[in-house]
Amino acid sequence: MKRLLSLDFFRGLTIAGMIIVNDPGSWSHVYAPLRHAEWNGATPTDLVFPFFLFIVGVSISLSLSKRKGSSNLYLKIFKRSIIIFLLGIFLALFPKFDFENLRVVGVLQRIAVVYLICAIIYLNSSFKSQLKIGVGLLVFYWITMMFVPFNGNIQELSSLETILLHGLIVLLFPEECIKELGILRDFTVPFQQ
């Protein structure tokens, strides 16, 4: 299979940017563009994750367009998503394996979820439908950013993320499993008085 050199170069450049951002040398003297923007604005650091998602999207288009008729393609997509998700969990736990402070929704986990959803959309819809889904998601995102009050408080954003994760857990796992494993034992709904 012939590789797209420009995509490989962009992937390498993005990985190099990720390494520089995650290990700037001394955390007490970090060059300002290597920090995330506090709330509004953007720095080069804030582009690393979107660049990875762009690379995933281009890769989906290039690799799946040739295999659309394959019988076990959905199994491969699901398997790859699970592997990326579990790798993200492992890297979040390594080296101390502190399950108390595990961040389930890390970067690799998000990439795995995006890959799974986008690959399924790509295989089951026309370009016109994909365009409608993309525009619809952008409009939804814009409405959320414009009309859901966060007041610049980053903690409120992570609280929204926690609520969405809680909803996903409730949908995916039976109630007995949640109670037995104690998955949501420390969960409290933010914004309650």
Q: Identify whether the C-beta of residue 82 lies closer than 8 Å to the C-beta of residue 112.
A: yes
Residue 104: the pLDDT is 84
HSE, side-chain direction, 13 A CA sphere, residue 32: 3
CA dihedral 31, 35, 37, 41 (to 10 degrees): 50
Q: Please compute the mean of the pLDDT values over residues 133-145 and round it to a whole number.
A: 86
DSSP for 117-160? Answer: HHHHHHHHS-HHHHHHHHHHHHHHHHHHHHHS--TT-HHHHHHH
Cβ(118)–Cβ(56) below 8 Å: yes
Cβ-in-10-Å burial (0-12, 13-18, 19+) of 58 comes to middle
Domain boundaries, the chain: 1-49, 67-148, 150-193
Share of the chain above pLDDT 90, in %: 44
128 or 185, higher pLDDT = 128
At 179, the amino acid letter reads: K
Residue 163 confidence (pLDDT) above 70: no
- Residue 174, pLDDT > 50, answer yes
Task: Tell me the pLDDT tens digit for each residue of 21-53.
Answer: 988 888 788 888 888 887 677 888 999 999 999
**pLDDT in the model for residue 188:** 46
30-34, 46-50, 75-79, 121-125: range with lowest mean pLDDT: 30-34
The answer to whether the predicted template modeling score (pTM) of the entire model surpasses 0.75 is no
The residues that are catalytic are 36
Task: Confirm if 56 and 115 have CB atoms less than 8 A apart.
Answer: yes
The overall average pLDDT reported for the chain is: 81
Q: Does 192 score more than 50 pLDDT? A: no
pLDDT at 187: 47
Of 54 and 100, the structure prediction assigns the larger pLDDT to 54
Is 187 within 8 Å of 153 (Cβ atoms)? Answer: no
* CA gap 137, 158 in Å, rounded: 20
Quick one: pLDDT at residue 176?
59
Residues in the chain: 193
Q: What proportion of the chain, given as a percentage, has pLDDT over 70? A: 75
